[in-house]
Structure 1
Amino acid sequence: MSPASPTLSVLDLVPVRSDQATGDALAASLSLARAADELGYRRYWLAEHHNMPAVAATNPPVLVGLVASATSRILVGSGGVMLPNHAPLVVAEQFALLEAAFPGRIDLGIGRAPGSDPVTSYALRHGAGGVSDEIVSRFPEYVDNVLAMMEPAGVGLSVQGRTYPLRATPQARSVPTIWLLGSSDYSARLAAEKGMPYVFAHHFSGSGTAEALALYREHFRPSPELAEPRTFLTVNAVVAGTEDEAARLALPQLLAMLALRTGQELTPQRLVEEAEKVELSAPHLELVQAMAERWVIGDPARARARIEELAASYGVDEVMVHPVAGAWTGTEPGASPAREETLRLLAA
């Protein structure tokens, strides 16, 4: 890429195809992470989603540990941990241990969304010890708790007139970089208020990105950890040798997003040949085409130019690529060659 090109990173939801078991999907993601590490990508983030047939990224700290162990250089983090699903102390303990094991390589991205359907969300948040709406309303407090407990000095917890020291881990020497993630003005304002780095979910939302980033930059208050706004862009990407091949490889994920947005039954990700047999109504075809226009889909030259255009448009020097290329019938179940090829072609 040209000298003005943005730094590239990777977002992974650990997709599960119709020809894969969960173990196959994990093996494919670990291979993808090793490829990103070798190709010089800056960071590799793993999402949190629950009870979805096509997504195996249910537990970011476990995945972060697996990926960090399988790589040597790349920053590894959560994109993100959905904090209302968990006790703040548990999150702080998990990522303090990861930082201790891989010092200087861990990012903790925190989000507020459920990451699942209402029933699964209830099961998660009831186990976290509270009513869902109450937990969400206390999100800013929970963020403060995580920030404080991860500091090496910890915090003092007052109980019955006595102060008890509370630390995420004993003898910490460093703290992960903690990011606030979101897809609304709320998260942008909160990140600005707390002086935290912030990422808007452009790959999922596709709209409102410019407004959220402008709000974040305008209202940013410097903090001891961050002197000025820090952000990057996330995009869905499929890159192949030709435009036609890239469009075909993008279809399985486009159909998965169509199902999610229109309330259809969710299934494991189709293989390309399976996806091409699906007949779409005119309104659904229009929605798929509109989504595709917001993604980066094409040959290497066109894809790199599009990423540079997006980075310039949103004023960022880093773009996190979510490689969503599908697979052909007969692909090795424990591999995702088209996803790896997307990373290779973009990094060339």
Structure 2
Amino acid sequence: MKELKDFLDNSFPHKHPYSTINAYPIPSVPPQLWILGTSLESARLAALYGVPYAFGHFLSANKSSEIMNYYHNNLKGKESGIKPKTIFAVFVICAETNERAQELARSALLWEVQLSTGIGDKGLPSFIESNGYTFSRQEMELIRNFKNKMIIGSPTEVKKKLIDIQNTYKVDEIMILTNTFCFEIG
């Protein structure tokens, strides 16, 4: 991370082996570095380097509070005015009703099951395929775990849960990921 910052800022010490290497093109305004992660280690690195943090909740919902709190409480440079800047990336499927959203989510949930068993390389299953599939007890347990990383519901329910995320995790932005076979069931 430090070397990447040094490349972007052209700030390697004179005797550093990379000091004679220049990154091109050099933008007039350097890009802002972010760390995307799903673990306490990624939050620790973002805090240590004083950079914004994007948490990939859609990949791992484990210890979300602990991870986000660590970043907020340990951000380097807070004493000199650097403020935490965060994105919370979450999987969302929203439809007119909760029932309709659950229908739309079924293909994504089947795909997650397939990916976890190594057979999801053909992409999201169709609604016909997912509706005709009977999940085993073991797969239903996987689905319960997958749903911990997801928001599935009506606009009112989804909005409430997104506001809860914003308040609970003190995030500046919420990034929404939606994997579904298609947005129309027909």
TM norm structure 2: 0.85
Q: Tell me the alpha carbon deviations over residues 247-296 of structure 1, each in whole angstroms, 9 at most, x when there is no partner.
A: 111112112222333x3322321111111111111121132134225411
Alignment of 1:156-195 (within 5 A): 158=15, 165-195=20-50
Q: Tell me the alpha carbon deviations over residues 188-227 of structure 1, each in whole angstroms, 9 at most, x when there is no partner.
A: 111111111112221110121111111112221118x971
1:297 is paired with a residue whose SS is strand
Identity %: 24
- Residue of structure 1 aligned with 2:166, choices 311, 327, 332: 311
Where structure 1 has 5 or more consecutive residues not aligned to the other structure, the ranges are: 1-142, 328-336, 339-348
Find out whether 1:265 has 2:123 as its counterpart.
no
TM norm structure 1: 0.48
Find out whether 1:145 has 2:3 as its counterpart.
yes
Where structure 2 has 5 or more consecutive residues not aligned to the other structure, the ranges are: none
Equivalent residue for 2:105? 250
Structure 2 counterpart of 1:192, which letter? A
Structure 1 counterpart of 2:84, which letter? P
Moved over 4 A (4+): 156-160
- Given that residues 252 and 272 in structure 1 are in contact (C-alpha distance below 8 angstroms), is that contact kept between their aligned partners in structure 2? yes
Shift of 1:322: 0.6
Alignment of 1:81-92 (within 5 A): none
Cα distance in 1 for residues equivalent to 2:145 and 2:152: 13
Count the aligned residue pairs: 182
Structure 1 counterpart of 2:133, which letter? V
2:92 is paired with a residue whose SS is strand
1:173 is paired with a residue whose SS is coil
- Given that residues 60 and 149 in structure 2 are in contact (C-alpha distance below 8 angstroms), is that contact kept between their aligned partners in structure 1? no
Q: Provide closer, same or farther for how the CA distance between residues 159 and 207 of structure 1 changes in structure 2, counting only shifts above 3 A.
A: closer
Cα distance in 1 for residues equivalent to 2:5 and 2:81: 13
Question: What value does the CA root-mean-square deviation take over the aligned residues?
Answer: 2.5
